[in-house]
A and B are shown apart, each in its own frame.
Chain A
Amino acid sequence: MDILLEIQQAVAAGKRVEVKRLLEAGLQAGMGARALLEEGLIIGMDIVGSRFKRNEVFVPEMLIAARAMKEALALLEPHLIEAGIKPKFTAVLGTVQGDLHDIGKNLVGMMWKGANFDVIDLGVNVPPEKFSATVEERKPHVVGLSALLTTTMPAMKESVAKIRSGAFGASVKIVVGGAPVTREYADEIGADGYSPDAASAVDLARELLNA
């Protein structure tokens, strides 16, 4: 079987030891780090993401795959650095001010990392000023805002406005999510996209970034 195909399947099944063995075999066979990453590991995570969206697996199974991906990336990292390969996209992520809920946000972060985004996670209860300052400093491709409470939705609106007031933030792609959030609300507050769940957040970010 094609080694890249084997890597995809091993990642999707969360077989950590197998993934590392296959990566080493690929490297020894002279395969490039980019191909192993983009045509092996990332596609493996896409497979498990698709299974999740089709209700075939649960998050714990997806996390096992993510851990296999993480360990594989650590193994591959020196080769990626040597080849000058960096994550294509940077994302800033956080739960808005006044809100401590972070399960959804963490899952989005995990899915974005699985898609090889460099994720800057600001945590929970993040003030609008911190979102804006981070966006101006780190110049991400996409920003993800999460809120679970109806009473913290105004903080989401305020965060979007604050980000938009910055020179870089004016045009950065912003996606929002959380139980009370809707596509209409995303439009109303000036976000670029709304994701109903963590798995869809990868597709949404890729769509917005034409990736």
Chain B
Amino acid sequence: MSWLGEFEDELKLRGIRPAARERLLAEFADHIACEEGASTRLELTRLGKAREIAAQYADELAADDARRGALGAFAALSLAALAVVVAQMSLGRIGYPGFNHGYGTPLALIAIAAFVIGSQVALVCGTLAAWRALRRRREAVLPAAEIALMHRRSRLGVAAGLVTTCGLLLYAVDFIGVLPAWWLVLSGSLAVGASAALVVAWRAIARGSATVALTSGPPGDLFDDIPPLRRLRAHPLALWALATLAVGGAVTVFEWHAEHSLAEGLQRGVFEALALSVCFALLGRAIGARR
């Protein structure tokens, strides 16, 4: 088999996209043709091993794609956050309708739960993915396990973002007969626009994760992303307890003051703590918060 044939096979094995593969092959074909009559010698002695060059290319591309995917996810999530904030602030001016004023209380509860939990998961996962991409921006090659961690965080962030925008849409549908038409059009358009941005980000992550990186090394975790937490690496339960108490407590105090009711504050604080515990149990390992 010729050097180019072997190189093409290696690129395919590493999941290099067809456009990039064709470009590389054309460049190498031109390089070989530049030394007319000496191509065999050139191929064997000066180009290097096809497998090693394909590996170098794939490892660098995979690292770049993971970083771009994470930053793209963060940008799309920022748009989604903006959409949610605008919709919520305008709804605040109109006045929130009661749960039982829509088509059905369960529908409203599902929409609000998707909205509240999805937005927080999206914030945590998207921020962690982008933070890791920025921290490792100067590394040409990253361990395959670390690239996988970045992809998981990005994917979870985008998926949670989509849950949030769907929650916003569901809320608008539930209160279609109660809320003014301008708000329904505004929030519907914002939710659809943000969802489109998230779908684009999702596709970029999926395309990037097709490249096979094989560099060995540790995946990294939350504790090297946030150095003050390093002491908790061996104690995931302590991290969970700390996060639950901090977030649950903060929500309790905030809602107590906002609603002028300690009972309301406690109710929402406990819900927040429970939601965080479930997310920690389900997603903690995937985002590198526990081993």
A binds B: no
Chain A residues in contact with chain B, CB under 8 A? none
